[in-house]
Amino acid sequence: MEPITQFSQLDLTKTYTYADYLTWKFDEFVELIKGKVMLPMAGPNRRHQQLSNRLERPIANFLYGSSCEMYHAPFDVRLATAGANGNAQIRTVVQPDICVVCDQNKLDDQGCIGAPDWIIEIVSPGNTARDTKIKFDLYEENEVQEYWIVYPGHKTVSAFVLEDGQYKIAGEYIEPGPMPVATLPGLSLEWAEVFAGS
């Protein structure tokens, strides 16, 4: 089989596995959702990077010395459990902007296998449906306990917490004030610090 060295060589009508994904040798970061390749996202712009840094800093400080760890894209999160066929059985791999994993057994050299405790996605222009519908449903189905969607243009954060298998809105943050993290009691991010100067 011809090696895949360019995204254009992929057949977007086919389904792939994580084993396939690991053989691809191109620069774009892609995601697999139930075997289907999602089109590559544009590289994060300056505003996206700025928000990511402002969210990560207080999280990293809070987690220092704890068993929970924070990661940011590119970081493979495989929303499946490896079985007898290992990577060939995994059909979903995503690259969350930020995630926190508290179960060390879910971490390996390739990233995370199974649901992180908390995921944050920063919406990019033209990518709203991916974060608000496709990934929302995927994270809910795979029992990610908390999911935040950050809207840079609106300076808004929507926080969802899993209750009885469904996401319930935990907070809609649109003005200065604390944004508490349900999965990490004691941690609260400040809206004004995240969106300062924007």
* 20 lies in some domain: no
* 40 lies in some domain: no
pTM: 0.93
Q: What is the CATH number of the domain that holds 108?
A: 3.90.1570.10
* 30 lies in some domain: no
Stretch 112-121: mean pLDDT? 96
pLDDT at residue 29, as a whole number: 85
pLDDT at residue 83, as a whole number: 57
Name the percent of the chain lying above pLDDT 90: 79
pLDDT tens digits, one per residue of 11-55? 999 999 999 999 999 888 889 999 999 887 666 688 999 999 999
* 2 lies in some domain: no
Is the pLDDT at 125 greater than 90? The verdict is no
Q: How many domains does the chain have?
A: 1
pLDDT tens digits, one per residue of 83-107? 555 788 899 999 999 999 999 999 9
* 5 lies in some domain: no
* 28 lies in some domain: no
Cα–Cα distance between 153 and 128 in angstroms, integer?
Answer: 12
- Which residue segment(s) compose the domain that 180 sits in? 46-76+93-194
pLDDT tens digits, one per residue of 150-193? 999 999 999 999 999 999 999 999 999 999 999 999 999 999 99
* 84 lies in some domain: no
* 38 lies in some domain: no
